[in-house]
Chains A and B, each alone.
Chain A
Amino acid sequence: MTQITSEIGTKTFEPLAARGAPTQHIGPLNWLRKNLFKGWLNSLTSLVLIGVLLWVLPVMINWLFLDAVFRGNGEVCRQSAGACWPFIYEKIPVLMVGVYPQELIWRPAVAGVALLALVYLTFSDRIRGFVLIGAWLALPLFALVMIGGAFGMTEVNQSLWGGLMLSILLALVGVIVSIPLGVMLALGRFYGSPLVKALCIGFIELIRGVPLITILFMVSVMMPLFLPPEMIINNLMRIQIGMIFFSAAYMAEVIRGGLQAIPKGQTEASLALGVSPNHTILFVIVPQALRHVLPPLIGRCIALFKDTSLVIIVGLLDFLGMIKGAALDPDWLGFQTEAYFFAAFVYWLICYSLSRYGRALENRGPNGAKR
Chain B
Amino acid sequence: MKNVSLISAIALVAATAGSAQAQTLEKVISEGVLACGVSEGVPGFSNPNSEGVWEGLDVDICRAVATAVLGDPDAVRFSPLTSSQKILAVSSGQVDMTSRTTTWTMKRDSAEGVDFTQVVFYDGQGFMVRAESGITDANQLDSATVCVTTGTTTELNLADFARAQNITIEPVVFEGKREAVAAYESGRCDALTTDASQLGAFRTSFIDPEAHTILDTLISKEPLAPLVAHGDNQWKDIVTWTIFGLISAEELGITSENVADLAANSDNPDVQRLLGASGDTGGFVGLEGSWMKDVIASVGNYGEIFDRNLTQTLGLERGLNAQWNDGGILYAMPIR
Contacts and interface: CB of A to CB of B under 8 A. Distances in A.
A225 B14 contact: yes
A309 to B, nearest CB: 13
Contact of B17 (A79, A94, A225): A225
A90 interface: yes
Nearest to B310: A330
Nearest to B14: A225
B47 A325 contact: yes
A336 B176 CA distance: 14
Q: Chain A interface mostly helix, strand, loop or mixed? A: helix
Interface in B73-127: 77-82, 84-85, 88-89, 92-94
A222 B48 contact: no
Interface string B200-211: 011011110000
A224 B42 contact: no
Interface string A58-71: 00000000000000
Interface string B310-322: 0001100000000
Interface stretch (A97-105, A111-119, A180-188, A198-206): A97-105
A98 B47 CA distance: 11
A127 B178 CA distance: 49
Given A100-B52, A314-B85, A317-B80, A333 B204 contact: yes
Nearest to B13: A225
Interface string B274-318: 000000000000000000000000000000000000000110000
Nearest to A220: B85
A153 to B, nearest CB: 18
B152 interface: no
| Residue picked from B21, B93, B204, B313, most chain A C-beta under 10 Å | B204
A330 B44 contact: yes
Nearest to A223: B92
A158 B314 CA distance: 31
Nearest to B33: A157
Interface string A281-321: 00000000000000000000000000000001111110001
A91 interface: yes
Interface residues of B, number: 41
Nearest to B77: A159
Contacts of B140: none
Given A325-B47, A329-B49, A334-B205, A221 B85 contact: yes
A229 interface: yes
A93 B314 contact: no
A331 interface: yes
A90 to B, nearest CB: 5
A98 B50 contact: no
Contacts of B94: 224, 232, 235
Interface residues of A, number: 42
B174 interface: no
A336 B178 contact: yes
A330 B48 CA distance: 10
B164 interface: no
B211 to A, nearest CB: 13
Contacts of B53: 99
Contacts of B223: none
B62 to A, nearest CB: 13
B92 A224 contact: yes
A264 to B, nearest CB: 48
A326 B78 CA distance: 17
Contacts, number: 109
Contact of A328 (B13, B21, B42): B42
Contacts of A101: 52
Contacts of A222: 10
A312 B204 contact: no
A79 B51 CA distance: 25
Contacts of B205: 333-334
A315 B50 contact: no
A322 interface: yes
A197 interface: no
A325 B50 contact: no
B133 to A, nearest CB: 22
B331 interface: no
A93 B43 contact: no
Interface in A257-297: none
A324 interface: yes
Given A235-B94, A315-B82, A324-B40, A330 B17 contact: no
B82 A314 contact: yes
A110 to B, nearest CB: 18
A78 interface: yes
B207 to A, nearest CB: 5
Given A79-B207, A315-B85, A330-B313, A235 B79 contact: yes
Contacts of B84: 217, 221, 313
B161 interface: no
A29 B52 CA distance: 56
A313 B41 CA distance: 12
Contacts of A220: 85
A249 to B, nearest CB: 23
B40 A325 contact: yes
Interface in B168-217: 178, 201-202, 204-207
A345 B268 CA distance: 61
Interface in A313-370: 313-317, 321-322, 324-326, 328-331, 333-334, 336
Interface of A: 78-79, 90-91, 93-94, 97-102, 157, 159-160, 217, 220-222, 224-225, 229, 232, 235, 312-317, 321-322, 324-326, 328-331, 333-334, 336
Smallest CB-CB A-B distances: 9 pairs:
A334-B205, A330-B313, A333-B205, A325-B41, A328-B41, A99-B52, A315-B80, A330-B43, A333-B204
